Chain A
Amino acid sequence: MAGQALVRRYDREFALVYGSFGWAATAALGAALVLAPLWLQGYFLYVASLIGTNVVVVVGLDLLVGFAGQISLGQAGFVAVGAYATALLSARAGVPFWLALPTGALLAGVVGWLVGLPALRLKGPYLAIATMGFGIAVQQVLINWPLVSGGRSGLMVPAPRMGPWSLASDTARYYVVLAVASALVMAAYNIRRSYVGRAWMALRDSDLAAQTNGVDLTRYKTLAFAVSAAYAGAAGGLTSLVLGYLEPNLFSFLESIYYLAMAVVGGLGTVSGPILGAALLTALPQLASRTREYLPVLYGAVVLAVMAIEPWGLYGRWLRIKRYFKTWPL
C-alpha cells in the first residue's frame, strides 16, 4: 500500500527476515526487549507493558483496516470482551491465566465474527457506524451490568499465578506481555505473507476483482473481523493483567479512535507501522504526564503533524529514508 522498497527478487517478498542486516537487527531488537528489565524499572516497565498491550490491539486492527480494507470504530469493545472474559475466568472461576487469556481472545474472536456479518453489506462510513454502535453498546452494557463489571467502582483483578510464578511484579507482567505480543506480531507478519493475507489485500484493492479470482468474500471479510477481534481480545486479557483492575470507562469510544489513530500514524497496510505508531502514541502521554493539562493538545498536534507531513505514516517515512540511502549518492 505504502511506497514499498524496491523488490528485486520474489524470495525477498516472502522472507520473514531478509539478509544478514535484517537478522542482526531482529536479534538486537529481541535481545534489547528481553533484557529491558535490567535498566527499566517500575513505572517505565509498566509503560513498556502498556505499549506491548497496545501494539497487540493496533497490529490486529491493522490486519482489518490496512490489509482487509474494512473499518472498525468499535475496537475497544473487543478489547473489553477479552479483558472481562479473562479477568472473570481467572479471578472468579479459577481458570489458570494461561488458559483464560486465549479463551478471552477466542470469545472476542467469535464476537468479532458476528460483528463482521454487517460488513458483508456495508462500506466505509456506514460500516464505521455499525462498529461504533457495537463499541458503545458494549460499554453501556458493562456500565449497567454490575455483576460483571463491578459497577462504577470497577472490578479488581488479583494478580494471577502462572505455574510456580505469581504475576505480581512489573517484571513478571512485562515478560508475559512481551511473550504474547511477540507471538502475535510474528503471527501477523506470517499472515501477511500467507494466502489469507493476500486474499485480504486483494479484496481491499477491489472486492469485485478478488471475487472473480476465487476469493470467497463472505469467508475472508468475516475472518478479518474475527482475527482482528481476537487480537483485541488477547490485548484485553493483557490489560487486565497490567492494570490489575477494570472499569467500563477504559473501553470508551475515544479508545477506539486512539487505536485507529495509532495504526494510521504508524502506517496502514504494514505490520511494522502500527508497532511504531502504538509505541509512539502510548509512550507520549505517559512520558509527558507532567504537562497533563496540555496532553490532548500535544497528542492532537502529533497526529496532525505526522499526517500532514507523511500521509503514509511513520513507517512510510522510514521506507523513504531507507530508499534514499540505498541509492545514495545518486
Chain B
Amino acid sequence: MDLLLQYAVNGLATGSLYALVALGIVVLYRTARVLNFAHGDLAALGTLVAYTALTGVRLPFSLAAMTGLAGAAAVGALFYAGVVRHAREAAPLSQSIMTMGLALLLGGLAAVGWGTDIKAMPFPLSATAVWRLGGLVVSQLHAGATAVAAVLMAGLYLLVQHTRWGLLMRALSENPVAARLLGVRSDRILAATWALSAALGAAAGLLLAPATLVDPFFMLNPFLKGFAAAVMGGLDSPPGAVVGGVVLGVLESLLAGYVSVAFKSTLAFLLIVMVLMARPEGLLGREFQRRV
C-alpha cells in the first residue's frame, strides 16, 4: 500500500509538469487553433537562455529564470508576428507543419549555439534532499516543482477567467470573425497568447531541467507526453490538460512500478487511445459537439 502511494506521489510530481506542458499547448490551441509542434523547442530554448544567464552571466536564479521565460515568450511572439500572421489562408494542418519547421529551426540553432553536449542545470532545490511523511518519501525537487506548477496553473486560471485579456482570448477562441468585427485586436491577443504559451513551456522546461539534464532536444519527450496529456484531457479544455497531465504521470509511474519500465510509454499511449475511443473529444473536451 505504501509502495502504491509512493508511485502515485512520484507520478503526481511528473504529472504536474506534463500538465504544465499540456497547458501551454492547450492555451494556444484554444485561442489560435494551431497545434504547436515547436512547443518543446521553444521551452528548451528558454531553458538554455536561463542556463546561460545563470552560469555565464551569473545572475541569481530567479532573475535567470525570468530571462529564460522572457526569451521563450519573445521568440514565440516573434514567430507569430513574423510568420504565422502572414499565412492566415493556410489550412490548420499547414500551420502545424509551419510549427514543425520552426521546431527544426530552433532545435538546429540551439544545437549550433549551445552545442549538443549535456549540461547540468544548477537548481536551488535538491533532488536528493528528501522529506519523510509517514512511509512516504518526497524529494524537495518533486515537492517544489509540483508547488510551482500548481501556482502557475492557478495563475493561468485567474488570467483566462477573470481578466480582460482572458476574456478577449476566449472571445477569439469562440468566434474569431465576430471577435474581430467587435474590435478585438486579434493580432495583439494572438501574439500575446503565443508568448504566454511559450513561457509556460519554458517554465516546465526549467522545472524539468534538474531531473533530465539539459541539451537542445531534452524537451522532445516531455513535449510528446504533454501533447498526449492535452489530447487525453481535451485539447480545448485547460482543466482537461491538468487532469490529463496528472493522470498520465501517475499512470506511467504505476505502469513502470508494477508492469514494465521499458514499455511504460507504450502502455500509457495504449490507454490514451482507449480513453479516446470512449470519449473522442478527450475527457473534458467539448470540441466536436455539433448540430446536424
Contacts and interface: CB of A to CB of B under 8 A. Distances in A.
Interface in B263-287: 263, 265-266, 269-270, 272-273, 276-277, 280-282
Interface residues of A, number: 44
Contacts of B224: 132, 136, 253
A297 B113 CA distance: 12
- Select the residue from A143, A295, A296 with max chain B CB neighbours within 10 A: A296
Interface stretch (A36-44, A159-167, A241-249, A301-309): A301-309
B86 interface: yes
A293 B276 contact: no
Given A123-B280, A129-B228, A136 B98 contact: no
Interface in A255-302: 257, 260-261, 264-265, 268, 293-302
B: contact size bracket:
35 or more
B274 to A, nearest CB: 9
B231 A125 contact: yes
Contacts of B89: 311
B108 A303 contact: no
B109 interface: yes
Contact of A300 (B104, B228, B235, B262): B104
Interface in B76-104: 83, 86-87, 89-94, 97-98, 100-104
A260 B270 contact: no
Contact of A307 (B94, B103, B272, B288): B94
B100 A260 contact: yes
Interface in B11-66: 29, 35, 37
Chain B interface, >50% SS class: helix
B102 A300 contact: yes
Contact of B112 (A257, A264, A268, A293): A293
A136 B269 contact: yes
A295 B102 CA distance: 13
A134 B101 CA distance: 23
A296 B83 contact: no
A13 to B, nearest CB: 23
A320 to B, nearest CB: 14
A125 B103 CA distance: 18
Contact of A129 (B92, B105, B227): B227
Nearest to B41: A300
Contact of B93 (A132, A268, A302): A268
B105 A130 contact: no
A295 B108 contact: yes
Contacts of A128: 35, 231
Given A125-B235, A295-B108, A301-B101, A308 B269 contact: no
18 contacts: A118-B277, A121-B276, A122-B276, A122-B277, A122-B280, A129-B228, A129-B269, A129-B273, A137-B266, A144-B263, A257-B100, A264-B94, A296-B104, A297-B105, A301-B101, A301-B105, A307-B90, A308-B86
Interface of A: 65, 71, 118, 121-126, 128-130, 132-134, 136-137, 140-141, 143-144, 208, 253, 257, 260-261, 264-265, 268, 293-304, 307-308, 311
Interface pairs A-B: 8 shortest CB-CB: A300-B105, A296-B108, A133-B269, A300-B104, A303-B101, A297-B108, A311-B90, A304-B101
Given A122-B277, A303-B98, 12 more contacts: A121-B280, A125-B231, A129-B232, A129-B269, A132-B269, A136-B269, A257-B37, A293-B111, A293-B112, A296-B107, A296-B108, A302-B101
